[in-house]
Amino acid sequence: MPDEPSVPPVPPRPAPPPADAGQGAVVAERKVQKTEPPRMYQVVMLNDDYTPMEFVVMVLQEYFQRDIETATQIMLKIHHEGRGVCGVYSKDVAATKVELVLTAAKRSGHPLQCTMEAA
């Protein structure tokens, strides 16, 4: 008796269906849209020895829409800990707020510094 092949022959694959599924129309595959939420940035204010506390509270009220109590708490936190978060915003808004604060500080002759960092 002749040797049997140990692996049976592989049958040919059926041809893939035509892209138009035989209907004369190409159907786009539905893909789940994944839109990442925009990256957020925190505006951080830094302590210094010269900017008056009242000016910092005014800045927090004016540019970060904080009420006087919250503004005072944030200012004191910065005063004691060296830095504090004024708010969290999209990139453009955070950059604009940093500019506004630095401009206001410079105009008033205070060395107040603030910056933005990825939240």
CB-wise, 39 or 80, nearer to ligand TYC?
Answer: 80
CB-wise, 21 or 53, nearer to ligand TYC?
Answer: 53
- Please, what is the minimum distance in Å from the beta carbon of residue 35 to ligand TYC? 36
- Please, what is the minimum distance in Å from the beta carbon of residue 80 to ligand TYC? 9
Q: Which one-letter amino acid corresponds to residue 8?
A: P
CB-wise, 79 or 93, nearer to ligand TYC?
Answer: 79
List residues near ligand TYC by CB under 6 A. 45-49, 51-53, 56, 75, 78-79, 112
- Please, what is the minimum distance in Å from the beta carbon of residue 96 to ligand TYC? 19
Please report, in angstroms and rounded to a whole number, the separation of the first and last CA atoms in the chain: 77
Burial 55-65 (b: 16+ CB within 10 A, else e): bbbbbbeebbe
CA angle 12-16-18, nearest 5°? 145
Residue identified by tokens 């006087």 is 68
